[in-house]
A and B are shown apart, each in its own frame.
Chain A
């Protein structure tokens, strides 16, 4: 009672932490709007923009079935083209994820504290002083590497690779794989550290070695979350892979930008719908898997 009274006394405006955060957000947003200096007038379509808006949204309700203009003989039908672009979108995403998961597991292992630093779960490094220093160095270096990998956006990696190699499909895969590996490593390491440790401790008490306890006691407890998260990132990778098309890689983004620049708005909507269906299908798949994993 006394404590409560003092708490109210110390807080003249009873808005609480959340109220404070909301207030800060609103103030920041207003300040940002001022800094942005974007006139509200610019929200209206520019000259000629109205025609584009009208044509574009009119096309929303009848996506193209065939090409809007004549195409050279032998061009595959629009729908086949859209499906092929969707297939390449998935191919790039899957290849990137297969790299990112392997790299993410390795880096995530080195970035987790459970193995390196916690004597209870008992990595070999945690016990002896000399090894502990080495383990700490490896841990810190991995963290820095992970931050560097994931702070650069996949499109910027793509831009760098374009400058370094020129247009090449494998560099698109690398561009997605690098930041995704960083993100997966970060999340994997957190999941390993947050996994319940009772089984690992019990196994060690029963005489298992540190490696055994880690692989069969700790890792399986984190595995469902790790699988669910990887699948979610696959969903994101499909979107990223589609966007890479804007830089000339043969995914859905390439078809969208080409159709838009040719003013073929109905074709744009066909590609947008294919992309939406693809993403939603993967989302439903991953959602149903996640429920199995987490429940």
Chain B
């Protein structure tokens, strides 16, 4: 019995890549703490701790309690005042920005994803059988190369769009377009178009090939397959991804306000600039509630979709 277990143990699947990657990651983690870039001692120094103490004692307290004893009614009227003056409008703006942005990015991705899918955007989409290597005419080869170039270029664009974080896109757009909601919408839309485009292309590539191939055999054009077979087959998956990205959109929309777009983040930044840290914390908590609402909405929509046939 024992030798067989040992033999099995020896033949277990092993991957050099995984092993070396794990070692490398461990090394990076250790190096990150020992490189001297992270100053833990400073965080625990007496000065920092005194800062923290005064922050918690004075700044973080809602200001009515500085000279009044704690009472729920005072707290409620303080919070109600903040909600009525800025909180509610800021929350609605945050949600509106994220809804418009994710819809724009879905539209963009719907155009980019088919171009990035290697099975659809090929010179012979869903070719039934590539067959043994045969003499390919020069024109045919050029066409294949052109399609490959198209998918590669689209993928490169998608990679770049999503490699730059939303916050940086928003920073750049804000400088160019000036203050309005558009820089935030465009930044979220562009970054997420890169992500949804990639996920959409993967969805199209992972579709079951047989039905699509048989359509091709029956003489359907590429466009017809894309519109009437690929799109309906990929839609559920795509919508699931859509809602998953919507959650992150709400999170990011809150934060982009820090740059000066009127979402909740704007009021966080505003309170911070005036050193009203009690208000700042209030809006942070409100932002967390909005994020939570977005998560719940997305979870409900995804559960609804999972039951779709």
Identify the A interface with B (CB < 8 A): 16-18, 21-22, 25-26, 28-29, 31-33, 35-39, 42-46, 49, 52-53, 56, 88, 90-92, 94-95, 97-98, 147-148, 151-153, 155-156, 159-160, 163-166, 168-171, 173, 231, 234, 239-240, 242-243, 246, 250, 253, 256-257, 260, 272, 275-276, 279-280, 283, 285, 288-289, 292-293
Q: A18-B236, A257-B171 are known; give 16 further A-B pairs, CB within 8 A.
A: A17-B309, A18-B239, A25-B106, A39-B180, A52-B176, A95-B33, A98-B33, A156-B268, A159-B272, A163-B55, A164-B51, A168-B39, A171-B43, A243-B168, A253-B167, A272-B164
Known A165-B43, A246-B167: A49·B177 in contact at CB below 8 Å? yes
Q: Which residue of B lies closest to A101 (CB)?
A: B29
**Quick one: CB contact mask for B142-176 with A, threshold 8 Å, 1 for yes?**
00000000000000000110011101100110011
A156 touches B287 (CB 8 A): yes
Cα distance A97–B235 in the bound complex, in angstroms:
34
Q: Which residues of A contact B255 (CB under 8 A)?
A: 153, 155-156
Query: Which of chain B's residues 244-281 have a Cβ closer than 8 Å to chain A?
Result: 251-252, 254-255, 258, 265, 268-269, 272, 277, 280-281
Q: Which residues of B contact A42 (CB under 8 A)?
A: 177-178, 180, 182
B304 touches A21 (CB 8 A): yes
A sample of 21 inter-chain contacts (CB < 8 A) reads A17-B305, A18-B239, A21-B305, A22-B235, A29-B100, A32-B97, A33-B100, A35-B92, A37-B181, A38-B180, A42-B177, A45-B176, A92-B32, A95-B32, A153-B254, A155-B258, A156-B254, A163-B277, A169-B39, A260-B171, A279-B163
B308 within 8 A of partner (CB)? yes
Q: Which residue of A lies closest to B45 (CB)?
A: A168
Cα distance A160–B181 in the bound complex, in angstroms:
25
B59 within 8 A of partner (CB)? yes
Q: Which residues of B contact A155 (CB under 8 A)?
A: 167, 255, 258
A155 smallest CB distance to B (angstroms): 5
Q: Which residue of B lies closest to A157 (CB)?
A: B284
Known A91-B37, A153-B287, A168-B43: A160·B301 in contact at CB below 8 Å? no
Q: Which residues of B contact A242 (CB under 8 A)?
A: 165, 168
B18 within 8 A of partner (CB)? yes
B239 touches A21 (CB 8 A): yes
A162 smallest CB distance to B (angstroms): 8
Q: Which residues of B contact A289 (CB under 8 A)?
A: 17-18, 21
Which are the 5 A-B pairs with shortest beta-carbon distances? A46-B178, A151-B288, A17-B308, A29-B103, A42-B180
Cα distance A163–B182 in the bound complex, in angstroms:
29
Q: Which residues of B contact A168 (CB under 8 A)?
A: 39, 42-43, 48
Q: Which residue of A lies closest to B18 (CB)?
A: A292
A151 smallest CB distance to B (angstroms): 4
B176 touches A91 (CB 8 A): no
B215 smallest CB distance to A (angstroms): 21
Identify the B interface with A (CB < 8 A): 15, 17-18, 21, 25, 28-29, 31-33, 35, 37-40, 42-43, 48, 51-52, 55-56, 59, 92-93, 95-97, 99-100, 103, 106, 159-160, 163-165, 167-168, 171-172, 175-178, 180-182, 185, 235-236, 239, 242, 251-252, 254-255, 258, 265, 268-269, 272, 277, 280-281, 284, 287-289, 291-292, 295, 301, 304-305, 307-309
Q: Which residues of B contact A18 (CB under 8 A)?
A: 235-236, 239, 305, 308
Q: Which residues of A contact B164 (CB under 8 A)?
A: 272, 275-276
B260 smallest CB distance to A (angstroms): 12
Cα distance A234–B272 in the bound complex, in angstroms:
29
A157 smallest CB distance to B (angstroms): 9
Q: Which residues of B contact A152 (CB under 8 A)?
A: 284, 287-288, 291
B304 touches A288 (CB 8 A): no
Q: Which residues of A contact B178 (CB under 8 A)?
A: 42, 45-46, 49
B38 touches A91 (CB 8 A): yes
Q: Which residue of B lies closest to A272 (CB)?
A: B164
Cα distance A155–B257 in the bound complex, in angstroms:
11
Cα distance A275–B167 in the bound complex, in angstroms:
13
A240 smallest CB distance to B (angstroms): 8
Q: Which residue of A lies closest to B106 (CB)?
A: A25
In this complex, the member of B92, B177, B289 whose beta carbon has the largest number of chain A beta carbons within 10 angstroms is B177
B287 touches A170 (CB 8 A): no
Q: Which residues of A contact B55 (CB under 8 A)?
A: 163-164
B244 smallest CB distance to A (angstroms): 12
Cα distance A22–B254 in the bound complex, in angstroms:
25
B31 touches A159 (CB 8 A): no
A16 touches B308 (CB 8 A): yes
